[in-house]
Amino acid sequence: MITPQYLLTLQAIERRLLWLATNMIHHANRVRPNPDGSKIGGHQASSASVVSIMTALYFHFLQAGDRVSIKPHASPVFHAAQYLLGQLPKEYLTTLRAYQGLQAYPSRTKDPSPVDFSTGSVGLGAVAPAFAALAHRYGKAHFDHVTSRRFVSLIGDAELDEGNVWEAVLEPSLGGLGNLLWIVDLNRQSLDRVVPGMKVKLLQAMFHDSGWQVLEAKYGRALQRVFAQPGGQLLRRRIDEMSNEEYQSLLSLPGAELRPKLVDVGGRDEIGLVELLQTTPDDKLPALFANLGGHDLPELIGVLEESEREPHKPTVLFAYTIKGWGLPLMGDPLNHSKLLTPEEIEALRAKLEIPQDDLWATFGPDTVQGRLCATAARRIYPANAAAPVTLSANIIPDELAIRTTGALSTQQAFGQTLMAISRKPELADRVVTASPDVATSTNLSGWILKSGVFGNAATAPRPDEEQPHLSWQYSPQGQHIELGISEMNLFMMLGMFGLSTDLCGQQLIPIGTVYDPFVCRGLDALIYGLYSGAKFIFAGTPSGVSLSPEGGAHQSTVTPSLGAELPNLNAYEPAFAQELSWIMAEALRQCCRADGRSTYLRLSTKLINQTLLEPALARIGRSALHEQVLAGGYRLVDWRDHAERNAAQPLVQIAASGAMIPEAVAAARLLQAQGINANVLNLTSARHLFESWRAADRPGRDPLSWLIPPDERGAPIVTIHDGASHALAWLGSVYGAPMVPLGVDGFGQSGARADLYRYFGIDAESIAGAGQRALAR
């Protein structure tokens, strides 16, 4: 029951949020020194449209364990709410968009106050809580206890234009998430315009048909009372049928100008409307006309409470709002990036009764508003919150016991590492795998058959009667999540499960598989997860033109660059099973460390004779080789091991990664036969080598000394990659050596592997020829 006094208190907080958010943006743009004159920006109008929703959420509705994603342009309102709740020190209010200050958009890793979900790229923060709610469901089923409760997204209506939103809505594994609530800020204005003919009913039908509960807060209680009067449906029909452009154009009109336009239907006055509105004076008419549900606290709270009555479906709430609500720029079709003038700010300050000598005033602890803020803070952020359950990196072995003999591909070895994990219960209990309908073809079958699929047995696919040994068992204790064919959903799921320690109180180690060329299909979500600080593991497999019969659409070339350049990511491209055993164990440890990174494994289905590793293992020693593999590379072939070595002969360094190692070794033998010494440098992680080079750019440091000793640093280098040649081309710059980079610099095609290697110049003969040319320079 909302009493009149309680409503007045909430409205006072609502007004203070409006002021604080607006003034933060004003201060950043017009008060704080701006030495280089760059546009600071901010979104006063977009922030204003959600002030009422944020008031209802943070000061009435939310409870401990609720996780909230805030639409990017509402960042100032979020910071204002955190300030009133005592979660943000006052000095930060003047730092919006400043270095080490409040971020332009909510950031888990860079903002000083607690942020559940980073937002910024529209559509991604919107769906993140859905996959976090799935992590909640998984954690609850496996460990019984979680610290999370409900997952809420405050979404800008233009975010529903993003395709990833509908990929998530249609994802079967997200069905039935009764603790998921999306609130759409339906202000019907985007960055450049008032959106014409927004098809809200169509959007609502799409959600409904996807199994969602659909609610709306369209009209406030004042308009609802008028609608209930005789003739009231005429006004409702007039507003319902009004175009978005017309509605926005009428918002800023004074009552005397608004009235004739409002009662004009088809070019003449509608007598019923005239009579209905004659009891509403001109000075009250604009407020009545603008009384939408998204700005009416009793209506909002009532619909929010209604959302909790459906425990078996996710809920979407369409809250009709006005962009720029409560500000002079309300109704301006181009108000998205507009700023109030200093004169307008002063008038707003006076209207909202903000003390002139305390522009950042909060509420005193003894005021009714201050007490409500304190109560809300204790409810949302309790002092006795349970600590998350984590897994110590110390329990993870240095390597995983897998077969390392014979002919193996790294994709096969990857499947074996998962089986090795399954034999260590304390570790395996925390591992969950996922794939976008490619589990079998990426060697997850053994893990799935042993660990099962997470889901409801009653809704599982029918068993394969012809191949019962391939039938998957679905249960709440399963540890694999099979997604639809959406790489975006895969990386969003990996990211949110990789944040499960913070979001749900139970640490999970998510491991995903995806065809390597389609890493790019999910790149936005991958970047989002890394930016948010998530820790997970994913294998891109198969990769490169080594997947020769599949053709160019399935042959990846640019993914090594992504692995090398994305922050918060380790990237490896192993050639041998033993390498992957060490790398996978390190990837698991990274997931358990507070400062750990995610890990990308670029793998292949190409069979490689594992005996090629044996000479290096004997020469370097197991412990040292382990260390060098994780550091990024080692000397697989050392010219000094050759039976007919001759130091007077010229030397070529052949550096290769992953599937190209056999060709590199064969090329070294060809050169040796021609009287040219050749080393083969196996680069297990070009990224780590590059980082070592950068870190060694200080006096007294010697980069990559274990790979290239001082007496060999003038030798030319040939790099070979089953990917774009530039990914390894930097290696010659380390010591200023002549350089010939080989790789796949065009789109692939179907064919035999040998044909494609020859076409792209990455076969053994081409590599040896490149070495000869390098020496001749």
3-state secondary structure of 659: helix
Tokens of 267: 């070019």
Residues 6+ apart with CB under 8 A from 732: 717, 738, 739
CA distances from 27 to 73, 97, 177, 435 (A): 17, 11, 41, 47
Confirm if 321 and 50 have CB atoms less than 8 A apart.
yes
Task: Give the 3-state DSSP-derived string for 689-733, with helices as H, strands as E and coil as C.
Answer: HHHHHHHCCCCCCCCCCCCCCHHHCCCCEEEECCCCHHHCHHHHH
Of the candidates 57, 70, 44, 69, which has an alpha carbon nearest to the alpha carbon of residue 13?
57
Confirm if 235 and 227 have CB atoms less than 8 A apart.
yes
Residues 6+ apart with CB under 8 A from 88: 79, 82, 112, 113
Residues in the chain: 777
Sign of CA dihedral 52, 58, 59, 63: positive
- 393-602 adopts what CATH topology? Rossmann fold (3.40.50)
Q: Please count the other Cβ atoms lying within 10 Å of the Cβ belonging to residue 567.
A: 8
383: Cα within 13 Å, side-chain hemisphere: 3
CA distances from 181 to 46, 79, 133, 201, 312 (A): 21, 21, 10, 19, 12
Which of 678-707 are b and which e, b meaning 16 or more Cβ less than 10 Å from the residue's Cβ?
Answer: bbbbbbbbbbbbbebbeeeeeeeeebbebb
- pLDDT score recorded for residue 356: 94
- Encoded amino acid at 522, one letter: G
**pLDDT, mean of each 10-residue run, the chain (777 residues):** 94 98 97 92 93 98 98 96 98 97 97 95 94 98 97 95 96 96 86 60 95 97 96 94 87 93 91 93 95 97 96 96 93 82 97 96 97 98 94 96 97 98 97 96 95 80 55 94 96 98 98 97 98 98 94 93 97 98 98 98 98 98 98 96 81 98 98 95 98 82 89 96 96 94 96 96 98 92
- Encoded amino acid at 609, one letter: N
Q: Please count the other Cβ atoms lying within 10 Å of the Cβ belonging to residue 289.
A: 22
Instruction: Return the residue matching tokens 């019984």.
Output: 144
DSSP string, 29-49: IIIS--TT-------HHHHHH
Phi–psi pair at 194, nearest 5 degrees: -80, 130
For residue 472, what is the DSSP state?
P
- pLDDT score recorded for residue 469: 46
Of the candidates 64, 92, 86, which has an alpha carbon nearest to the alpha carbon of residue 149?
64
Tokens of 40: 């600071």
- pLDDT score recorded for residue 194: 54
Cis preceding linkage at 328, omega within 30: no
**CA atoms of 572 and 541, how far apart (whole Å):** 12
Q: How far is CA 753 from the centre of its chain?
A: 36
The interaxial angle of helices 523-531 and 124-143, nearest 10 deg, is 70
- Encoded amino acid at 380, one letter: I
Tokens of 641: 């091991």
Domains 4-220+292-380 and 393-602 share a fold: yes
CA distances from 163 to 57, 176, 531 (A): 27, 21, 20
CATH of domain 4-220+292-380: 3.40.50.970
**CA atoms of 659 and 684, how far apart (whole Å):** 11
Domain spanning 634-776, CATH architecture: 3-Layer(aba) Sandwich (3.40)
Query: Helix H segments across 356-486?
Result: 368-380, 410-422, 425-428, 445-451
Confirm if 94 and 27 have CB atoms less than 8 A apart.
yes
Which residue ranges make up each domain of the chain? Answer: 4-220+292-380, 393-602, 634-776
- pLDDT score recorded for residue 189: 67
**CA atoms of 303 and 320, how far apart (whole Å):** 12
Classify 668 in phi/psi space as left (phi over 0), alpha (psi -120 to 50) or beta: alpha
> What H or E segment, with its residue span, contains residue 75?
helix 75-84
- pLDDT score recorded for residue 335: 78
- pLDDT score recorded for residue 193: 47
Phi–psi pair at 570, nearest 5 degrees: -95, 145
The CA R_g of the chain, rounded to the nearest whole Å, is: 31
Tokens of 646: 């001759």
Phi–psi pair at 186, nearest 5 degrees: -90, 75
> What H or E segment, with its residue span, contains residue 681?
strand 677-682
3-state secondary structure of 362: coil
**CA atoms of 433 and 481, how far apart (whole Å):** 6
Cis preceding linkage at 574, omega within 30: no
